[in-house]
Structure 1
Amino acid sequence: MREKIIKLLQVSINKNQKSGFFPKFAVPDVKIERPDSSAFGDYSSNLALAVSKIVGKNPLETADLIVKSINHQESAALFDKVEVAPPGFINFFVSQKLIFNGLQNIIKQKRVFGRSSWQRNKKIIVEFTDPNPFKEFHIGHLYTNTVGEAIAKLQEATGAKVKRANYQGDVGLHVAKAVWGVRQKMAIGNINLASLEQKELKERIKFLGESYAYGAKSFEENEAAKQEIITLNKKIFDLDPEIKEIYERGRRWSLDCFEEVYRRIGARFDYYYFESKVGKTGLKLVKDNIKNGVFQESQGAVIFPGEKYGLHSRVFINSQGLPTYEAKELGLALVKYKDFRYNASIIITSNEIIDYFQVLIAALKKVSPELGEKTIHIPHGTLRLSEGKMSSRSGNVVTAESFLNRIKELAGKLTESSDESRGSNLTEIITLGAVKYALLKASIGQDVIFDQDKSVSIKGDSGPYLQYACVRCRSVLKKSKSGVRGVRAPKNYNNLSKEETEISRLIFVFPDVVREAAEKFAPNLICGFAFDLAQRYNAFYDRYPILKAENEEVKRLRLLLTAAVAQTLENALFLLGIEVPEKM
């Protein structure tokens, strides 16, 4: 609908120019917004305000000229009315007939409703999650994964070809700290790799986490240990036989553990990248750009002089001649582009490394301007629990598994009366819905204070509340015996209640909400829309009979509305990575 309105306005401007009411000028970008109040229509444009400054007319007069020149035949097919409102807005009220005809199309479109071809010619790679082997998969990784998957789905929903990438740090100082810790703990506890291999994967991962925490603490407090770890870092990069077996087994244990988490949360990736594989590419790229001044040698290392660009300097090759995280990131950009000739590379991380990525992208723009311009860093906030911020350095890490299990215990109270045969799966679906929605409903960049009890409530702004609303709709349709396929449009649209009108108009704009959420990388817009729709439908459900409506015509109308709400909610939740259970 936005595109249709834009076209109508552009044609109207051209008519006014030809008739002499407006001078010749390039039509400015047309912005279409959704008003906060239905009193101002379904869509609104401030085009007249911008044009009035160009043509030297009063904004209201300008808006009136534009509205009068809009093609009446085309407008009548789309809108019940088009009005001018102070100080110069043009408000569009979509035809109620068009809206209700659209409701029936929603039932036919099913999962396609809300999707568009806006980005049909774009190829986008979304990198997210990025856990590091030898460290536990914590709630921060879960947060990043949830945001990344939602953003990937939104790009797909608007027509882009999307690939998902996961970049994992399997070499570097953190690995050296973990391997050093493993060797120390094995010696202290008289443990060997064979005995560790016999333990459950969870126990091995716990051992790796404790080893990393011990190594990190020793690195900070013990100079001798620090030097040993620095030396070990070089040996790991070179895959020295002395540490090869410990390194490879620990790496495999970590990756196996990560895959278990991905299966549980429904994550998938097209590409897995590792620091060990992109490091040499990044190292060469940095070395090749020293002579041209992009990078500079400094105290035995190689740096990017960020101060020249209003940033800070960072080391890209350390004094041992090894590529740092920064150099590896440059190598990663080249490798990703070789695998998938993208139009945009989106990277999702915590906002703790915003400064890091500002320097990184500045350096990338110098060595590869094209890839630098195509790279987009999206930082999300920090997930905070009542226990405080997680820290794998101190060993006080909150793993994703323990976190999900804790929420599952609470969600289990919602399914206590369910059949035992489906209770476990149902509880898991509700758990993931609760967690994902709680992480996505705030604007990306804001910290999330996770309230466990509110997250599983079916009476508030939560995932289970939306799941329950969708299940309720499906239950009504099932009881009607006509189901979704059997619902027919009413013969007329007279005597609609305020609730029916508002719900139908809200559903109509869902495709625009999806596009806006994709444009702004803002899954919280989908959350807000879904919650608003669920609230409105629940209020309608409580007030008006559906299956026992006063006559067959009203019953059909309300079943149509219920079917459209169910499909729209299901589609919205899908974009958030949330499944809808059969029953609750």
Structure 2
Amino acid sequence: MIRDHVIALFEKALARGAAEGRWPALAGGFTVEPPRDPKHGDFAVNAAMVLAKPAQKPPRELAQALVEVVREIDAAGDVASMEVAGPGFVNVRLAPDLWYRALGEVERQGAAFGRTSVGKGKKVIVEYVSANPTGPMHVGHGRNAVTGDGVARLLQWSGHEVTREYYVNDYGAQVQTLARSVHLRYQQLLGRAVEMPPKSYPGEYVIDVARALKEEHGARFLDAPEADWLALFRDRAVAHVLELIRGDLAVLDITFDVWSSEKALYASGDVERFLAQLEAKGLVYVGKLPPPKSKKGAPPPPPQPDEEGVSVSDDLTLFRSSQFGDEVDRPVKKSDGTPTYFCADIAYHWQKRQRAEALVDVLGADHGGYVPRLQAALQALGYDRKDLHVVLIQMVNLTRGGEAVKMSKRAGTVVSLREVVEEVGADATRFLFFTRRADAQLDFDLELAKQQTLDNPVFYVQYGHARLASILRKAAEAGLPPPAFDLAAARALVLPEEQDLLRRIVSFPDVLAGAAVAYEPHRVAYWLHETIAAFHAYYTGGKKSGERVIGPDPVKTAARLYLCSALKQALANGLSALGVSAPERMESRDLAEE
């Protein structure tokens, strides 16, 4: 990565200056980023500003001294110019040949271009989806699934050892409600008139499970007490729904390495071992929850049990999470001695942290308040709370031509993910989920997703790749040699638009690495969209000005064909990192094939 080259130069300069006693050794990191305005150079370095406090010197004075040391150690002449700007930034402009040589890396690395070793040797567990196994996946689950898969892919591209994990909530009240829903349908299939209560699960899949149980057991459980059939109906329903979920994920090419079961977590004794750890450390006590807070001037609200039936009047076993940054202490055991859902959840994270150095959870935005207590639990057990990073997913508004789409024929509730993918395709579904930050609400228009026009973001990027493929085919048909990097020819890429594309391509590994460590795959989608927009402008502008890719000048033609080839490879790799295909041929009502 060319940015790494700049970092290395400044690190050497800082080390030399510290060895000479010109300033103290810099313990913290500094940033090397492209400036907002390209006129200010290729990179802006804030090392002098970071160094100013420990050195007790003005940052601009340090910046000027740092520039002098960098010039001394830059024997290869890779830096064309440097200037001190603003409060103490060093704006760096690199020698053109450094950029040209970096462009040659695309040919050398091919499909691996963009892969880095930023996370080499670091194990990461990415847990995502983890939808309750009570029905097929809806489009909101799909955004979680695609985002989590995008995070996992980018972490792999940056050298991390990644485990994809799905946590199956197959133990609590919701799967029992599913089992009772199946039993009600079972009764109906046996001729009994029963009503489905409001909180039951109404989808066709519930009837499918009930029908299979009826065929297998007849009327055996029609009037049997709940204790005789609840576990069987629950396990069969959960198994059936998990198969539906696996199928829903498969249409988006999403798979998991590990399916962790909450029920198995209890059966293995991990929950009890976790509680024993807390007790041994003196981190639990018996007490009551604090009363609910009231608004200023209003009487306190009456105590209400939470979703687990826990009330402020109960004697509970509480975890001292407030000592580790949480708002209040949290219950880990109910008054009857049974563990809470939170207890199982933090036991699961404790178990995960023993298998990996870093944990990533992809959760719905409604779980935002849950994050501090999970981090508190890890910190209480001797880990760094930063070992857990949470990506929050906002809602998806599904529309068709601006009108809201709500109901699903198959799931019986909101629109299922499978229905969306079957209508618009996996590529469009995946890419559109990346067109906004995960924590921003997303409008997903089914009609736009199907359009083969440049208004459709995924079509726009894929068509750019196909357009580049078309240019390279035409060059081959004209008898031109296959594009290959040649430094002398590359120096012919002097147009501002060519220099912009060149820098975009060379920066691609930095983009992927930055997106990976920030857990933000949407950055790659933005890069793809902005880069192909820059290419379309370059290509159409060149046709108008006479600066065509394939022109009369053989040197310029060779350089531009290689630029197109390198860009095509970078686009393909970027799409691959998001799990989206890169077609070689496409048709559009907006553009004819070149």
Does the alignment reach a TM-score above 0.5?
A: yes
Q: Distance in 2 between matches of 1:460 and 1:90?
A: 40
Q: Secondary structure at the match of 2:440?
A: coil
Counterpart contact for 1:477–1:484, Cα < 8 Å: no
How far residue 300 of structure 1 moved from its aligned partner, in angstroms, is 5.2
Q: Which residue of 2 aligns with 1:520?
A: 518
Q: Give me the whole-angstrom Cα distance separating, in 2, the residues matched to 1:325 and 1:483.
A: 66
1:26, distance to aligned residue in structure 2 (A): 3.7
1:184-216 deviation per Cα after TM superposition (whole angstroms, max 9, x unaligned): 232234369xxxxxxxxx9752648999xxxxx
> 416, 419, 434: which is aligned to 1:402?
419
1:295 to 284, 291, 294: 284
Identify the residue that residue 190 of structure 1 maps to in structure 2. 190
Residues 8 and 71, structure 1, Cα contact 8 Å, conserved in 2: no
Question: What is the one-letter code of the residue matched to 1:443?
Answer: R
Could you tell me how far 1:450 is from its partner in structure 2?
2.1
Q: Deviations over 1:55-110 (max 9, x none)?
A: 45554443222112214563644333233333432122233222223223202211
Q: Which runs of 5+ in 2 are unaligned?
A: 193-201, 212-224, 288-313, 587-594
1:183-582 matches, within 5 Å, as 183-190=183-190, 204-205=204-205, 207=207, 241-279=228-266, 280-286=269-275, 289-290=278-279, 293-298=282-287, 299=314, 301-307=316-322, 309-337=325-353, 341-366=355-380, 368-370=381-383, 374-386=387-399, 387=404, 396-406=413-423, 408=424, 431-457=425-451, 458-460=453-455, 462-481=457-476, 486-489=483-486, 491-492=488-489, 493-494=491-492, 496-545=494-543, 546=548, 548-582=550-584
Contact kept in structure 1, 2:124 and 2:160, CA below 8 Å: yes
- Higher mean displacement: 106-115 or 449-458: 449-458
- Further displaced range: 244-253 or 564-573: 244-253
Within 1, Cα distance between the matches of 2:277 and 2:62? 58
Note the aligned Cα RMSD (angstroms): 3.2
Q: How many residues align?
A: 521
Check whether the contact 2:326–2:376 (CA below 8 A) recurs between aligned residues: no
Would the aligned equivalents of 1:100 and 1:489 in 2 still touch at CA under 8 Å?
A: no
1:528-584 Cα offsets, whole Å, 9 max, x none, are 211111011111111225453132111111111111111111111111121112322
The residue type equivalent to 2:470 in the other structure is S
Greater alpha carbon shift after TM alignment, 566-575 vs 60-69:
60-69
Secondary structure at the aligned position of 1:63 is classed as helix
State the Cα distance separating 1:3 from its structure 2 match. Answer: 3.1
Distance of aligned partners of 1:501 and 1:320 in 2 relative to their CA distance in 1, 3 Å threshold = same
Structure 1 unaligned segments of length 5 or more: list them.
193-201, 212-231, 409-430
| 2-structure distance, mates of 1:23, 1:37 | 30
Amino acid at match of 1:43: F
How much identity, in percent, do the aligned residues show?
22
Please give the alpha-carbon distance, in whole angstroms, between the structure 2 residues aligned to 1:333 and 1:383. 28
Residue 49 to residue 247, structure 1, CA distance change in 2 (3 Å): closer
SS at structure 2 position matched to 1:369: coil
Taking a change above 3 Å as real, the CA distance of residues 96 and 203 of structure 1, as seen in their structure-2 partners, is same
- Report whether the alignment pairs 1:12 with 2:13: yes
Residue 43 of structure 2 corresponds to 43
Cα separation, partners in 2 of 1:15 and 1:356, compared to 1, 3 Å: closer
Q: Give secondary structure in 2 for the equivalent of 1:69.
A: helix
User: Is the partner of 1:265 in helix, strand or coil?
Assistant: coil
Matched, 1:152 2:152: yes
Aligned residue for 1:215? none
The Cα offsets for residues 272-316 of structure 1, whole Å up to 9 and x where unpaired, read as 111111134214422553475423345254333545554244433
CA distance in 1, matches of 2:251, 2:137: 13
Distance in 2 between residues matched to 1:209 and 1:535, nearest whole Å: 50
TM-score, normalization by structure 2: 0.79
* Distance (whole Å) between structure 2 residues aligned to residue 243 and residue 359 of structure 1: 32
Greater Cα shift, 59-68 or 449-458: 449-458
Contact kept, 8 Å, 1:282 with 1:329, in 2: the verdict is no
Tell me, yes or no, if the aligned pair for 2:123 and 2:356 is still in contact at 8 Å: yes
Q: Please report how far the alpha carbon of residue 134 of structure 1 lies from its aligned counterpart in structure 2 after TM superposition.
A: 2.4
Distance 1:138 1:3, change over 3 A: same
Could you list the per-position Cα deviations for residues 20-68 of structure 1 after superposition, in whole angstroms to 9, with x for gaps in the alignment?
A: 6x34454652211111221112211122233345545554443222112
Contact 1:350–1:380 under 8 Å retained in 2: yes
Match of residue 303 from structure 2: none
Segment drifting more, 566-575 vs 10-19: 10-19
The change in CA–CA distance for 1:54 and 1:375 in structure 2 (over 3 A counts) is closer
Question: 1:319 & 1:395 partners in 2: Cα distance?
Answer: 37
Q: 2 CA distance for matches of 1:96 and 1:314?
A: 59
User: CA–CA distance in 1 between the matches of 2:48 and 2:352?
Assistant: 45
Q: In proportion to residue count, which structure has more helix?
A: 1
Q: Secondary structure at the match of 2:383?
A: helix
Which consecutive aligned stretches of 4+ in structure 1 deviate over 6 angstroms post-superposition?
208-211, 388-392
Residue identity matched to 1:80: A
The one-letter code of the counterpart of 2:8 is K
Tell me the CA shift for residue 150 of structure 1: 1.0
Report deviation, 1:143. 0.9
- CA distance change for structure 1 residues 208 and 135 in 2, over 3 Å: closer, same or farther? farther
Q: When the two structures are superposed, what TM-score results if normalisation uses the length of structure 1?
A: 0.81
Does residue 88 in structure 1 map to residue 88 in structure 2? yes
Per the alignment, do residues 32 and 241 of structure 1 end up closer, same or farther by CA in structure 2, a change over 3 Å counting?
same
- CA distance, structure 2, for counterparts of residue 448 and residue 566 of structure 1: 29
Residue aligned with 1:542, SS? helix
1-structure distance, mates of 2:386, 2:52: 35
Contact 1:487 1:560 in 2 (8 A): yes
1:515–1:452 CA distance, 2 compared to 1 (3 A): same
Whether the aligned pair in 2 keeps the contact of 1:170 and 1:274 (CA below 8 Å) is yes
